[in-house]
């Protein structure tokens, strides 16, 4: 598409993407017709021919989060699939681990199915297809969410987002397969390539048992190069199982008696034996540090609550919270508000509330100052009235001044020297006491 149009569309999407992520409505059937004519590059068509892949043969998508890859596999004339294209995922949301609840911002992991009505040629994210979350496994385990996509526009809040050029090719692969008669294609979404080394790295992770279950389907595709038959019973995935006596699988019911084709069973047992040896060896060797993973439903609930507050326009930490291994909650100190109509409304409400509070505080302070002034005036008046009732104060008794006090000893000495009655008495007193 023209570069200018792409830039303009990206600019118009900024606000919408911040609010909606990839959860756009999926209420109507839109068919397969996309904007303009989508072409698969001639180089890819030549490779398809070399690999004996009819242009309209069935396809399958595989996603690897940690490696950031989306692969398209296509059926050859012999019925087996081979990889035909690999794309770097532009953005995927959340951490390694499955999606648990609406708003946890996790991109799903598991086995999903895409049918023609899930294709969205008129997506607000240029082109998209709904991967089919929640599937039977998710529903059986109480997991919630809706409209999780693979789409363009390179922005994600729970989806797998590609560039517009990438999604054009991916969409065209699906369109051609559906036009050739494929009724649905499988999307396999994994946390990482499920090698012995990677499984050893994550052996202590809380999601490990879930990943071990996904690995059964992963391994069987690696063996057969054919999409596995996927069912759910006892709230878990089962792969390539054929129920006996026409029984059916119930996602929440007991698994019926079933068998795996003998050739696959033998090949799978051999594969698992080799894997276990490689796993044991991988544990003993040094491996890269594991990537962050979601700490189950507890962390998903924290993030979901953050998402709801953010969508309402509240000020929240700029990054979603996470749950630490010790159970503490980690949040970023920087706060922000989403730039959206909801955010602007919330900002206006908070500003009005702050102004109301400020005015109330000013009114309260003015009232307190007035009450203090009145109380002071009353006290001064009461003091004045008390003084008036007491009458004039008595004149103070005169006290000798300093000159009189200083002169007294000299006068007494002079009197002692004078003759007469007083002088004689003083002399006699002095003689009596050794004076």
Residue from 102, 101, 100, 109 nearest 65 by CA:
109
pLDDT digits (tens, 9 = 90+) for 9-52: 333 333 333 334 465 654 445 667 666 678 899 999 999 999 99
Q: Which two structure tokens, joined as six digits, stand for 85?
A: 């294209």
At residue 381, the pLDDT reads: 87
Residue 346 contacts residue 335 (beta carbons within 8 Å): no
Alpha-carbon torsion angle 366, 371, 372, 378, nearest 10 = 150
Q: Which two structure tokens, joined as six digits, stand for 338?
A: 């989403």
Mean pLDDT across the chain, nearest whole number? 85
pTM passes above 0.85 = no
Report whether pLDDT(105) > 80: yes
Residue 134, preceding peptide bond in cis (omega within 30° of 0): yes
Section 165-186 average pLDDT: 96
Which pLDDT band, with edges at 50, 70 and 90, does 322 fall under?
very high
Residue from 141, 138, 144 nearest 113 by CA:
138
Report whether pLDDT(392) > 60: yes
Q: Which two structure tokens, joined as six digits, stand for 374?
A: 């009145």
User: How far apart, in whole angstroms, are the C-alpha atoms of residue 45 and residue 186?
Assistant: 22
At residue 29, the pLDDT reads: 52
Q: Note if 151 is an active site residue.
A: yes
Residue 75 contacts residue 53 (beta carbons within 8 Å): yes
Residue tagged active-site, from 22, 90, 151, 233:
151
Instruction: Look at 106-120, 176-190, 344-358, 410-424 and tell me which has the smallest mean pLDDT.
Output: 410-424
User: How far apart, in whole angstroms, are the C-alpha atoms of residue 104 and residue 98?
Assistant: 10
Superfamily of domain 3-284: L,D-transpeptidase catalytic domain-like (2.40.440.10)
DSSP 144-165: -----EEESTT--SSSEE--HH
Alpha helix ranges (H) inside 51-195:
136-140, 164-179
Q: Note if 154 is an active site residue.
A: no
Q: Which two structure tokens, joined as six digits, stand for 232?
A: 């759910």
At residue 8, the pLDDT reads: 35
pLDDT digits (tens, 9 = 90+) for 338-370: 777 877 887 787 788 888 888 998 899 999 999
Residue 71 contacts residue 134 (beta carbons within 8 Å): no
Please count the helices (runs of H) and the strands (runs of E) in the chain: 11, 18
Backbone φ, ψ for residue 269 (5° rounding): -60, -40
Backbone φ, ψ for residue 41 (5° rounding): -55, 145
3-state helix, strand, coil in the chain (%, to 5): 45, 15, 40
At residue 423, the pLDDT reads: 53
Instruction: Look at 30-39, 166-175, 204-213, 310-319 and tell me which has the smallest mean pLDDT.
Output: 30-39
H or E stretch including 60? strand 59-64
Which residues of the chain are in CATH 2.40.440.10 domains? 3-284
At residue 385, the pLDDT reads: 83
At residue 37, the pLDDT reads: 74
At residue 394, the pLDDT reads: 66
H or E stretch including 342? helix 341-390
H or E stretch including 85? strand 81-88
Instruction: Look at 209-223, 281-295, 308-322, 403-417 and tell me which has the smallest mean pLDDT.
Output: 403-417
Report whether pLDDT(179) > 80: yes
User: How far apart, in whole angstroms, are the C-alpha atoms of residue 109 and residue 355?
Assistant: 48
Residue from 102, 182, 115 nearest 142 by CA:
102
Residue tagged active-site, from 22, 90, 159, 233:
159
pLDDT digits (tens, 9 = 90+) for 201-229: 999 999 999 999 999 999 999 999 999 99
């Amino acid at each position: 598409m023209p570069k200018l149009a792409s830039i303009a569309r990206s600019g118009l999407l900024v606000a919408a993407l911040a609010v909606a992520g990839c959860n756009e409505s999926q209420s109507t059937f839109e068919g397969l017709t996309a904007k303009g004519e989508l072409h698969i590059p001639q180089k890819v068509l030549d490779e398809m021919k070399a690999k004996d892949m009819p242009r309209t043969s069935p396809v399958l998508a595989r996603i690897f989060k940690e490696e950031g890859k989306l692969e398209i596999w296509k059926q050859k004339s012999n019925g087996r699939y081979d990889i035909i294209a690999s794309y770097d995922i532009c953005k995927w949301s959340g951490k390694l681990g499955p999606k648990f609840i609406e708003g946890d911002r996790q991109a799903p992991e598991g086995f999903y199915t895409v049918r023609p009505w899930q294709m969205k040629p008129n997506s607000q994210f240029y082109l998209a297809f709904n991967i089919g979350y929640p599937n039977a496994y998710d529903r059986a385990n109480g997991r919630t969410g809706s409209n999780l996509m693979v789409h363009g526009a390179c922005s994600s809040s729970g989806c797998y987002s590609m560039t517009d050029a990438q999604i054009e090719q991916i969409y065209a692969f699906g369109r051609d397969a559906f036009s050739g008669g494929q009724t649905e294609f499988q999307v396999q979404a994994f946390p990482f390539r499920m090698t012995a080394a990677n499984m050893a790295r994550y052996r202590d992770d809380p999601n490990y048992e879930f990943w071990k279950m996904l690995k059964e389907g992963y391994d069987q595709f690696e063996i057969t190069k054919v999409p596995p038959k996927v069912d759910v019973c006892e709230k878990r995935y089962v792969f390539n199982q054929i129920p006996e006596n026409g029984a059916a699988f119930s996602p929440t019911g007991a698994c019926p008696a079933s068998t795996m084709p003998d050739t696959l069973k033998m090949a799978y047992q051999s594969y698992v034996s080799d894997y276990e040896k490689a796993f044991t060896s991988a544990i003993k060797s040094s491996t890269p540090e594991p990537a962050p993973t979601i700490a189950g439903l507890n962390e998903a609930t924290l993030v979901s609550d953050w998402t709801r507050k953010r969508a309402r326009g509240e000020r929240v930490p700029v990054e979603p919270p996470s749950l630490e291994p010790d159970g503490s909650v980690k949040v970023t100190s920087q706060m922000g508000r989403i730039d959206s109509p909801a955010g602007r409304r919330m900002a206006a409400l908070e500003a009005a509330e702050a102004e109301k509070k400020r005015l109330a505080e000013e009114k309260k302070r003015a009232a307190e100052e007035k009450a203090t002034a009145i109380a002071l005036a009353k006290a001064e008046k009461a003091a004045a009235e008390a003084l008036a009732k007491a009458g004039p104060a008595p004149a103070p008794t005169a006290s000798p001044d300093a000159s009189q006090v200083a002169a007294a000893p000299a006068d007494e000495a002079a009197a002692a020297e004078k003759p007469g009655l007083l002088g004689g008495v003083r002399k006699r007193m002095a003689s009596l006491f050794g004076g």
